[in-house]
Chains A and B, each alone.
Chain A
Amino acid sequence: MKRSRLDSVLLYATAILTCALLVFPIYWLVVTALSEPDQLRQLPPKFWPDQPRWGVFAQILAERPILQWLGNSALAAIGAVTLSMTVSVLAGYSLSRFKVRGGQSLGLFILTAKMLPATLLVIPLFGIFRQLELIGSLWSIILAHATLIIPFTTWMLKGYFDTIPRELEQAAMVDGCSPLGAMVRVILPVSAPGLAATALYGFVLSWSDYAYARTFLTNAQTNWTANLGITTMKGEYVSNWSDISAASILVALPILLIYLFLERYLVGGLTAGSDK
């Protein structure tokens, strides 16, 4: 069906206006980071700085331990994703392929666990980690983030494995592979895109966490994750929005890049296990 000219104009106008409005806050973050702090106190506001201070990123990295915070976030996320992927690849495969007794109820439980409030688990975990002397260590965060990630990745992977025909591993087994060998040599390589997308989701979940980091890592600044560091900057430097914005961009960047890469898988991933 051809659209009329008027409809086309309306459609483009709506699309451009909507995108502009919805993305504006992110644009404003960039403008704020690139503006001199005293320029921000001028009215009317400048929608693009006269002289963007591109050096702000290097400067903020030098002034504050942001690299260390980013490093901590990355270590926590990599640890949590590795742990979670290891157990949930096996579990997702098992839930997809085998009729295990109790598998159904485990699946339901995992789905419920996806919806647990962090503020509920954070109390007992605090007690447990204190007893294990993990408070202040990244291990506490790795374990805590695994509670966020495992329910998510197990469901996504189960959904993904369900889309791979069973004939593949059956053929491999006819050719003499053991069931486990068939999974490792045939199914996992075929699932590589799904595994990568799932792992990146896990990474996003861990990277975005604030509640657990706020509770378990407050003792020393050197242990902070990036999100935790940003909130302390918001508290202490009330006036310096330029620096906070620059730091925020550095913290959001990894997720934005992952998002650009993942956008195509986003639909499949988020809907897996909920509306199939």
Chain B
Amino acid sequence: MPRAAFLDLARPSRRHWLGNLLLAPAVLLIGLIIVYPLFVSVDLSFQNVNIARLDQARRPFTTANYERLFASEDFWNACWVTFKLVIIVSTGCFLLGMATALLVNNRFKGQALARLLVALPWAVPEVIAVVIFAWLFDSSFGLMNWIFIKLGLVDTTINWFSSPSASFAVVCVVMIWKGYPFVSIMLLAGLQSIPEDFYNAARVDGASAWQRLLNITIPSLMPVLGVTLVLVMLWVFRDFSIIYVLTGGGPLKATQSLSIMTYEQAFGFFKMGYASAIGVITLIVCIIASRLMIARAPDTM
């Protein structure tokens, strides 16, 4: 076989060398702007520092940040807020994403347009999504209050951003709206890889639409579903812009997730060491979650 001969003759040594050479710039850059900062972060979390001045002498090693963190009510509140957000928003994104994917997977006139529209919020920057919903939920002239009153759900206008539960709900609505298209796009890709024959065979056997969904569609989507779920949960877990611009973590810390708390401690109170400790905890959660994802998708590599 000429190709095998070619490979044997010219490549092995040079191949290795070239592969490394091509990777070098990426390794160097990732080392400088991701790995090194991560080490700095872990290092800061074990020092009692207020302002990150890397040119100053290193403070002595201490676990005080972590001790304070685990004893702090705010930290456990942020964990609880983050947990609620992850559960509610991921579920919402999933239901809506699944429903829209199934919908636009049908063949109908205008299907291409429907597919385009359903995924459109994906293309709206998070900050702009916040502007849109902040206005929709405006307490005096927002459309939402008007609709709620028209529908007879409430009799006076709600001040969405001063009630803890209402602002938490608005944060969830914005995140679901911004996040569901991703689920929809991923699941649509999964749906389109299911052979049509499966459905035809099931129809011949007299399976109802519901049975086809439960016995063909959902099982075939399982691998995509798993990966998508982890990706969405991670996105909710670490999202910063939506909450920060919409509520700033308030009122009464009702929307203060771990990301918001990290940022507030670092750039609101300049407690860089303490903030880094929260960051390191979130990093550990992210690593565990991404490992879970890789375990679910063994062919990722």
Contact = CB atoms under 8 A, between A and B. Distances in A.
Given A26-B120, A259-B120, A131 B231 contact: no
Secondary structure of the B contact surface, majority rule:
helix
Contacts of B129: 25
Interface residues of B, number: 107
Interface string B219-255: 0000110011001001001101100110000000000
Interface of A: 1, 8, 11-12, 14-15, 18-19, 22-23, 25-26, 28-29, 32, 40-41, 43-45, 83, 86-88, 90-91, 93-95, 97-101, 103-104, 106-128, 130-131, 143-144, 146-147, 150, 154, 170, 173-174, 179-180, 204, 207-208, 210-211, 214-215, 227, 230-231, 234, 241, 244-245, 248, 251-252, 255-256, 258-260, 263, 266-268, 270-271, 273-276
B38 A124 contact: yes
Given A40-B141, A115-B234, A124-B41, A210 B25 contact: no
B127 A123 contact: no
A212 B88 CA distance: 27
Nearest to A171: B3
A127 B227 contact: no
A125 B272 CA distance: 12
A232 B126 CA distance: 15
A95 B161 CA distance: 48
Given A19-B117, A121-B37, A90 B146 contact: no
**A-B pairs with lowest CB-CB distance, top 3:** A98-B19, A127-B52, A117-B238
Nearest to B2: A174
Contacts of B135: 28-29, 32, 241, 244-245
Contacts of B19: 94, 97-100, 103
B286 A170 contact: no
Contact of A14 (B15, B103, B141, B282): B103
Interface in B272-300: 272, 275-276, 279-280, 282-283, 286-287, 289-290, 293-294, 297, 299-300
B210 interface: no
Given A104-B301, A123-B272, A123-B279, A11 B38 contact: no
Interface string B32-64: 011011101100100000001111000000000
Nearest to B282: A117
B93 interface: no
B122 interface: yes
A25 B136 contact: yes
Nearest to A121: B37
Contacts, number: 306
Given A91-B26, A275-B223, A210 B132 contact: no
A151 B29 CA distance: 11
A25 B129 CA distance: 8
A215 B267 CA distance: 8
Given A26-B121, A28-B132, A29-B132, A275 B41 contact: no
Nearest to A146: B33
B25 A119 contact: no
Contact of B282 (A43, A119, A211, A259): A119
A267 B227 CA distance: 14
B127 A231 contact: yes
Contact of B189 (A18, A97, A122, A271): A271
